[in-house]
Each structure stands twice: as C-alpha cells, then as structure tokens.
Chains A and B, each alone.
Chain A
C-alpha cells in the first residue's frame, strides 16, 4: 500500500517590494501556522474531507510562530482539530520531504488515515533588511503549502523517496543564535548587536553541495520508484539559489515544459516551496490525476531529499 496526496493547498501573502525585489511577505504579524490555515482548508476541500477527518498533523518549518511550543500546536488550534497529535519537525529546506516520508510511515503502518503535512515559513520576520543583509534578504519569501496524505489506490501515491543529512556542514548555512550551548546565557544583547541572530550562508559551499546532492538524490528516488527521468511529467526543484536548480535541471536534460522552479517565482519558501509549487500547478490545471512528479530540495543542515509520486 502506498501513501498518496489526496489534496493540496497553498497560501502566499501579497507581494511587497523589500530590498528591490518583490516577494510574498506576511506584513501582518502572523506566524507560519496562520498562513497554513487557508492552505489546509483548500487541501481538505480538494480532498473532499472535513476538518474532523484529520487525525494527525506534521508541521515542517524553520521559522516557528514562537520558540516553543511548536507551530503545529498553534495551527491545530486555529484549524479546530480537537486533540489530534501535532508533530513539529526541523529539517530546513528539505522539511516538507522529511515530513512527507514521516507521514508515509504512519499511513503505511495503518496508524492514521488522513495526515496534514505542512510546510510553512515566515522568513520576513527574521531577515536582515539592512545593507549588510540585503543580498540574503532578497532571496526569501513567506508562504505555506499543505498536502493531505492518506491511503492510495491503484497507481496513485508515493513511489519512491530518499532523504539525507550531512551535519558536517551545519555552520555553512545557519542561524547561530539563540544558542543553548552558550553559557551562561544563550542570547545576550551583544550577540544581538552583532547580528548573530540572522542567517549567514557560505554561498559557494551551498551552491556546490546543491549541484552535487540534488542530481544524486533525484537518481536515488527515481531508482526507488523504478522509473526513468523520461517518465516524470514534472520536476519541481527547490534551492535557495535559483541557478542551482537550473543547473541541476540542465544536467537532467529536463526541458522547461517539464520543469518547475518555485524559487524563480516566489523567492525561497524553504519548507513551503514544494507543496506550494505542486498546489499551484493543480489549481492551474497543468498537473492532475495520473501525472507523476519528482520533488527535490536541498539546503541548510545540510539536509536534502527527493520524492517521486503519482497524483
């Protein structure tokens, strides 16, 4: 038995010009849980399910509403999902793929029938919009994408997936503070004034790793699915650097008609990128039942992954 996507939804706030580029930005002070609510309602409607049918929540984000509890708890309350479990995971840019694989386990084990897998981010609250940070700030957008995962039938469902992490590179693309490892206090006013609570990225290392890891993990997922690249209707590739996704697609010989790079339209939506791009295509009618897609993402951690699934 395969787990499958029963419905998809996404929500992007209106575009705002921040550092010379227009990006979806959540201007109202809301967290990712709030952006995810309309996306989840759209996904449930598409699946023909009511909120009561949801029996588990997997929330992937690196920009939670508050430090704790997790964004999943805030989301669960806004959705009115009674007392179902709300798991929060952190796997950065690959968060949605990690969440999808986790949801797949619970469905296969017969524990849950309908799981909401959410990727949602409000990056704008934590970006450095000063001259120093403008280059990185320009890369990101806010948004939420949601998939309802349940039991598949026939040809539908998750055919193959691969997820990986290499923690040796954790400090190449990170947000260091607050840091519980700093004694006696994990965040001082000095740390703040130094801007240590902003993301820093070794662009060369992140680019090189993306260009190496993405083709390899796509090949691995295809192999697990026992499919060739020619059988894939759409490659959706997410990376903080759009040119990395383009290079990877070129290497795979994927024509633009079979390629979707969400970062090129919205900026980097991190955990939200893949479900948002998939949902957009379903809404536009460019993807539908029976189409097979390959989702791939790589980023901070470093964490990366790919999944092949038939809608």
Chain B
C-alpha cells in the first residue's frame, strides 16, 4: 500500500482582533485572569455574513496554491467543523460551491476538537488505498456567533476564536515518509462535560424559543472545565505515546509536537509530562484562542512558516476535546 503526505497547507483568520480587554468590557473578566488560566491574549472574530465554509474556502485556496494545484484537481472534500454555516446540508457542500467545483464527494466530520485529526485519518486512508490522489481537508470554525458574551457564558466565551486551516493530502512515494499512522478515540460517557445541547433531536421538539433565549438558553456551549482539564492531561500523552509506540519511536525522536490549541496550561502540562523541551512543542493559542477544528492546521501553517518543521523531521499532531474525543497522527515530514 502506498503512503500519503501533506502536499500543502493554508490558513485564514478574519481581520478583526478581539483582545481580552474588549471581552472584559461585556463580562466580569480581565486580561490577567484569561491569560493566567488559558494563555490567550487575543482571538479573531469574523463579521458580516461569514460562515465556516467561507473562511475554509480561503484557507483551501492557499493550501491548493502551495501544493501547486487547482480546485478542479480535488477528488474529495472533507470538512471538519462544529459550527456549520447552516444546520443542513453539510458545510462541505457550501465550501465546494465557494470553490466553484462540483461532482467530487464532500462531507462533514463532526468530531469537535479532534475533528481535523479524524478528517486527516480519513484523507490518509483514501490516499493509501489509492481511491483518491488529492483530498482536501479543511478545519474551520465561526464560534463568535454561538457563544454567550455575558457573565453567564464567560467561562467558555473567553476561550474560543474564529479561524480556518486546510491541507491537501496526496500520495508519497517514499514508504518511510509522510503520514505514518493515525489514532482515533472517543469516550461518550463524558459527552455532556463539554457540549452544546440545542437543537437536540433527543428533545421533543428539538428546538423551542425557550432554548434560544431567556434564562435557560441551551444554544450556547457549556463546559465543566475541571473535568476537561483532567482528562486532557491524561489522554494527550497517552495518544501521543500510542502513535510513537506504533512506529517503534519514542518522545526523544520527536522533532515537533503540535497539540490542538485548547488551553496553554494543558499544552504545558502535556509537554512536561512527556519531558519535551520547549523547542519540541508549538503553541500559538495566545493569538487565536481555541479555534477547535481549525487550530491544528493553523498551527501547522505557522510552524512551517517559522521553520520549525524540517525535511525528515518527525511531527506529531494530537488533539483532545468534546465528546470526549481524542486523536493523534504521526508524520515524517
């Protein structure tokens, strides 16, 4: 079976920067509190009539450009998001439309913070089985329209930012290089520790006016931060070691770890637990907040730009988040 690799990476973040001080103007929080708890200094919010697919299309164009490809060359579109442009159909359909192409399959992956890596696992297999030669994978989120920017929602609202990243996955001739393996997990027991309830097809009806507004509004994400933190700092190292172990490698072989940018304190604890040096880990949450499915490709793009990933270097991508879901991918660049 042939191998696969990332042929090009693209990124898009909306222009508008929202600082911690701006958030402190509409809720009881402070720059100091947010930085201390999360490491976030600012995030980007989109405006106008911008959805996840609109931003994803911008990131996709850059990824295609860098891969030396045109939109027409794409044979499959995988779109990871938890903030779709519309309720139905999948945002992948709108992205395909924005890119001006039609015919190739396009579907959404809804795996929250692990969405990009679940999507990468799928793209990788499509290429390895030689089903497709060019798979476009996009991770994109517009969180800003779905968070409660009042005191009630502050614990979650300060974390999230808007942003998109994209990669093109294609074949790699050298069996020792490219995407070496992917590892996917979930534990639905904790589904309600970090979730957004409504609309909910398990409610009758799935949406009411009370769910949208009022004191019991359920259209905003909720999080039990303590639980998420505790599980994150266990599952991250576990799934990183699983990827290394599956390939007969250890943390010493790792050139760079790009963890999903959920919280700088989580990333630091994971790095410490794995005894990774500072130059073995890439973080950029200070400038973007948590962009969920967008965070890993955005960070990958910046790590490449900064020269942190060299030819032949061993790269690990890892994620943990709502579901709970967690995942990793090991790549020989």
Query: Which residues of chain B are within 8 angstroms of A88 by Cβ–Cβ distance?
Result: 109-111
Do residues A301 and B93 form an inter-chain contact, with CB atoms below 8 A?
A: yes
Residues of A within 8 A of B (CB): 27, 29-34, 56-57, 62-70, 72-78, 83-92, 98, 101-102, 104-106, 108-111, 121-122, 124-126, 163-168, 170, 173-189, 192-193, 197, 199, 300-303, 305
B207 close to chain A: CB less than 8 A: yes
Residues of B within 8 A of A (CB): 1, 46-54, 77, 82-90, 92-97, 102-112, 118, 122, 125-126, 128-129, 131, 141-142, 144-146, 182, 184-189, 191, 194-207, 209, 212-213, 219, 221, 322-325, 327
| Chain B proximity of A190: nearest CB distance (Å) | 10
Query: Which residues of chain B are within 8 angstroms of A66 by Cβ–Cβ distance?
Result: 191, 195-198, 200-202
Do residues B191 and A77 form an inter-chain contact, with CB atoms below 8 A?
A: yes
Do residues B102 and A167 form an inter-chain contact, with CB atoms below 8 A?
A: yes
Complex CA distance for A47 and B90, rounded to whole angstroms: 32
* 19 extra A-B contacts, CB within 8 A, seeds A69-B191, A108-B125, A182-B145: A62-B88, A63-B201, A64-B201, A70-B110, A73-B187, A77-B191, A84-B185, A88-B111, A89-B107, A89-B110, A101-B105, A108-B129, A125-B202, A167-B96, A174-B88, A177-B86, A177-B87, A183-B46, A185-B146
| Chain B proximity of A194: nearest CB distance (Å) | 12
Instruction: Given A34-B202, A167-B94, A303-B89, verify A86-B49 contact (CB < 8 Å).
Output: no
Contact of B84 among A75, A180, A301 (CB under 8 A): A180
Query: Which residues of chain A are within 8 angstroms of B203 by Cβ–Cβ distance?
Result: 29, 125
Complex CA distance for A165 and B186, rounded to whole angstroms: 28
Contact of A67 among B46, B53, B142, B196 (CB under 8 A): B196
Complex CA distance for A76 and B48, rounded to whole angstroms: 38
| Chain B proximity of A219: nearest CB distance (Å) | 15
Do residues A86 and B201 form an inter-chain contact, with CB atoms below 8 A?
A: no
List 28 A-B pairs, Cβ < 8 Å.
A31-B201, A32-B201, A67-B219, A69-B112, A69-B324, A73-B186, A73-B188, A74-B191, A84-B186, A85-B327, A87-B184, A88-B109, A98-B105, A105-B129, A167-B96, A168-B97, A170-B89, A174-B86, A176-B86, A178-B199, A181-B52, A181-B85, A183-B48, A183-B50, A192-B209, A197-B87, A199-B88, A301-B106
Complex CA distance for A77 and B188, rounded to whole angstroms: 5
Contact of B52 among A78, A180, A184 (CB under 8 A): A180
Query: Which residues of chain B are within 8 angstroms of A125 by Cβ–Cβ distance?
Result: 200-206
Instruction: Given A66-B200, A91-B107, A303-B93, verify A178-B144 contact (CB < 8 Å).
Output: no
| Chain B proximity of A111: nearest CB distance (Å) | 7
Do residues B107 and A165 form an inter-chain contact, with CB atoms below 8 A?
A: yes
Of chain A, the residue at the smallest CB distance from B95 is: A167
